[in-house]
Amino acid sequence: MSVFFYKRPDYISKLDGPLDSSNCQKYAEKAACAKGAFPEQLSFDNVIEGKSMPPCSLQDFMDYLVYISHDAENLQFYLWLLDYTKRFENLPASEKSLSPEWKIHNARPAFARGVSATAIEKSPVAVSLTEGSPYIDEDDTTKLTQGPASQRRSDDSSPQPSLKPVEACVSEPNVQTTQSLPSFADQPFRSEITQIISHYIDPSSPRELNISGKDRKSILHALQHTTHPSAFHPLLSILGLTLRNQSHPNFIRWSICNGNQPRVFFLRSMAIWTIALGLIMAVSLVLSHHSPWWRIFVLPIWFSGIATLVAAHKGLCILLYQFHTREIRPWEIESPNLSLSPRSSDNRDPEALPPSYSSERLSSFGGGNEYASEAWVDKWAMYQWWRKLMLKKVWVQEEGLRLIQNRIVQQAHAWGALMGVSLTIVVVALPRGNLI
């Protein structure tokens, strides 16, 4: 009987305010309720490592975060940090020693333990962290035609640290200490860290992360002393848990739908009209003088209508499912890199992925994630509703997604058969009205 009561995991809505450990805990609790709902092929790790196929690939995940969820900067920074950590670990020991591991629970960096606390507090590095400038809060947008989360600001109203360029700290005269600090210029990847700050950490940056002022200040403080990946530990934890327990489940839930909103609305409307047509035919036959066995012919009508309605309720078009396809997304209207023919789902070599896999959205550096000026926005707005029902169809390559769709279709057919047969038995059992 479980097929009758299969339910997609609930949508995990965003929590108000900046990302922090408490929000991550709430996301984890909600995601735990959906544990086991997705096949292993669609796990977060497989998606991030590029092992899943369209429409559940890393590129599709990024598109979802840009155009639907509006928080793509989380994934962009997370991917950079994973790559940065690998590159840092591959450095020679002599270079890594210039950027010691940052001890989160220590007030001072590991390389400055011999420096007096008073000297550090009076240093230009520490003084720069006390300078703040508040910034204006803005509401997060959730509409497809509006800007993404890169325009959003944290709900934390606490003053934010002004970002003094790291290089500036080098040129300033330092206080007298018993131990000299390593030169910033000699630390590995220092220029890249400066770029990351201006892209993700600095308030009003093009891909500003929605983090609290406390976490922002803590990270900036660490980065002004070291380029070791441990300086980003708070972000790695917060963003990793948010992507894994909120963004990824919502993405898979959204990917199950193989039709766009106009098609799903059309399917629901047609299903209701089909069920109503079956009811009209049943009433007409009951009131007629014809044999009750003629009423059996309303069964396929009711079955079709009910099954279509149940599947459409979960965003699935049974017809597209039968052909192993899905409709293209609005932003894919002019994309030349879509797979229009069957491909082997077992071929998960990243080199075999479509060219769009290397989209600039996956680049760590670049402009914001706004898309209002993209060509597809105006083109989609000019489409008539009937034209949105006839969009190009593309092949569903991810078999893990098909497993979920299989269960939804089985559930739709089960409910269609159960309710259709039950209603038909009732109609056949009614006496003839002999009025028509």
For tokens 């520490």, the residue is: 126
Q: SS3 of 326, please?
A: strand
Q: How far apart are the first and last CA of the chain?
A: 41
Whole-model pTM? Answer: 0.78
Q: Please report the pLDDT score of residue 360 as a whole number.
A: 73
In the chain, what are the helix, strand and coil shares in percent, each to the nearest 5?
55, 0, 40
Distance CA 66, CA 369 (A): 6
Which stretches in the chain have pLDDT values below 70? 1, 104-183, 336-359
192-223 per-position pLDDT tens digit:
999 999 999 999 899 999 999 999 999 999 99
229-243 per-position pLDDT tens digit:
999 998 999 999 999
Q: Please report the pLDDT score of residue 126 as a whole number.
A: 35
The angle at the Cα of 43, spanning 39 to 48, to the nearest 5 degrees, equals 150
Hey, what amino acid is at 429? A
